[in-house]
Structure 1
């Protein structure tokens, strides 16, 4: 009976979305190992929506912002700093969740002879443009550079795959990037000297967020709630058995399982209920003073300071771009 009722509810939702002209839901994803890829493998999202999911690839946060501007995606999982930039530039998007706190999933990998950030002076460092990796690198130089002269560090913005090629050619001396690319650099005689989690001692929170196109979310609130529920189910599946989940994802993406273990293990996963506390997003009453809202503000102000944003574009508060309504509904449904 439960199965019949669930199927009936799914069919009903599918009929509603079909009537509204939704033929597919478009996700932006970077192609690498993440817990939500489990939902790509078993098509949990497609089943929950009643319509197919189209997975749209991107290389960095800058690509995601372009895809949102062109209305080519509906939901994306990407980094906090490019999201802060997109909101500042008044893209019609809103934050609907913060499922991943970046710890060791993004790291600074260097070649032999480099032992510290200060040693990067007169060296060439690559990172993906407008990404959490770029944001973390700039903050690392500022906060943990031991007097490093930023003007003497030569930086180049490259796509992650291009970073690996540039490393192999000898065009760069270091790179700040995420897995599986960081592991590829290590396999080519690279070594880690810094990880994003080190910024936490300075009170800096760097994370990945779920962001939706505002028009899409407003027209399909039940679909956004279902998305958050399924995404949490996939995180729960991973945390319940990391090895089994890692094996599935490695086989699906055709990459080494060690790479998947390292990347997924380098993230922290606040639950839906935890995300609704002031330590993360907060709820409709506390989001304005939440840690995530402050983190967006700090990221935008830092990006303005280094010329990545106009100071006049930085909003007085990010609370208006954080919509906790969907998380709150997903949390209620989880208790039933």
Structure 2
């Protein structure tokens, strides 16, 4: 979140991911496509089964209420790599996306046609590096020569590389394995891997028989923060900017509800994830959720004409990924700035 060193398998993985995405979108939104051709408007929204404002918006049908003339489809993804491929294929209008895969998406000569328009959360203890207790490993440096799984091109992958660097290890000093969260759990249970960097809810299951070595909260505090962003397609910006305004308002309401109605938030997340409320409460407590006012502050996303510190975070992320040979070249700050959609902020939230 080295893919470069595994070119053929990586291409096959991305091709498979795009095929799966296409099938999912066809299954979930065929009705909306038909309606769109009849004059109705559509929104295809990618989300993760991960505690965030997205789940509250989805569960409360906040967007459906705000945009009754739109056909809205919610499409679940496992990681940012799949989201990026879906945008390349023109299969999404809005989606959750980690800051690291976003930095990848805007790099290169053919950047993905999307822009960041919101911040869902800041990674905290909800993403972490855990080693199997059976290995006896208690610190990151002890992973030398070990097999570590993480979803490549994800924020967890980025944080893992940062953790290794801080511990004085190169990616070549360990064996990195590209696995999605559920396959990580299966490999962990079989004893096929020694450690994993991943997010909730898989992370909590690993913690039961593992030792946490570091977290995205610690890595962020040391200067390499990761965030769950929300991006919108260039096509949606051109054809339906009003829908983006309504969506931002719904996401802002969700962030307010996380603070003002914790009980309702827990119930919504539990229902969406199909887990007990006590587990939903524990998962929510590990995330860092900004207020809408903080999202549009100079410290984070910023406002129309004045991007915030997120611009620096994403630019630095791109530079780090390039230094780690994860991408051919780092996107310049100007390129990253052009991948921000801040029109209407902060007024649209009032």
RMSD: 2.0
Unaligned runs of 5+ in 2: 1-34
Distance in 2 (alpha carbons) for counterparts of 1:101 and 1:253: 20
Note if contact 1:96-1:326 (Cα within 8 Å) is conserved in structure 2.
no
Structure 2 match to 1:81: 100
Query: Counterpart of 1:4?
Result: none
Task: Give distance in 2, aligned partners of 1:233 and 1:262.
Answer: 22
The CA distance in 2 between the partners of 1:110 and 1:283, in whole Å, is 41
Instruction: Trace 1:228-307 onto structure 2 (pairs within 5 A).
Output: 228-287=248-307, 290-307=308-325
Secondary structure of the residue that 1:54 maps to in structure 2?
strand
The answer to whether residue 57 in structure 2 is matched with residue 39 in structure 1 is: yes
Q: 1:91 aligns with which of 112, 118, 139?
A: 112
Distance change (3 Å), C-alpha of 1:19 and 1:153: closer
Shift of 1:265: 1.8
Q: For residues 122-137 of structure 1, what are the structure 2 equivalents within 5 Å?
A: 122-137=145-160
Does the 8 Å contact 1:99/1:271 carry over to 2? no
Find the aligned partners of 2:326 and 2:262 in 1 and give their Cα distance: 37
Q: Deviations over 1:104-154 (max 9, x none)?
A: 1111111111100011112111111100000011111112x1x34542211
Match of 1:57 in 2: 76
Alignment partner, residue 5 of structure 1: none
1:66 aligned to 85, 99, 115, which one?
85
The one of 321, 324, 330 equivalent to 2:342 is 324
Q: Could you tell me which residue of structure 2 aligns to residue 315 of structure 1?
A: 332
Misfit runs of 4+, over 6 Å: 17-20
TM-score (norm 1): 0.87
Instruction: Report the Cα distance in structure 1 between the residues aligned to 2:88 and 2:41, rounded to whole angstroms.
Output: 20
SS at match of 1:25: strand
CA distances 1:89-111 after superposition (whole Å, capped 9, x unpaired):
41110110113111111111111
Q: Given the two structures, how large is their TM-score scaled by the length of structure 2? A: 0.83
The whole-number CA distance in structure 1 between the counterparts of 2:260 and 2:231 is 26
Alignment match, 1:142: 165
Listed one character per residue, the Cα deviations across residues 297-323 of structure 1 (whole Å, up to 9, x for unaligned) are: 111111112222111x62342111111
Is contact 2:42-2:71 (8 Å) kept? yes
5 Å matches for 1:171-186?
171-186=192-207
Unpaired segments of 5 or more residues in structure 1? 1-16
Answer yes or no: is the 8 Å Cα contact 2:95–2:232 preserved in 1: yes
Given that residues 272 and 330 in structure 1 are in contact (C-alpha distance below 8 angstroms), is that contact kept between their aligned partners in structure 2? Answer: no
Q: How many residues align?
A: 310
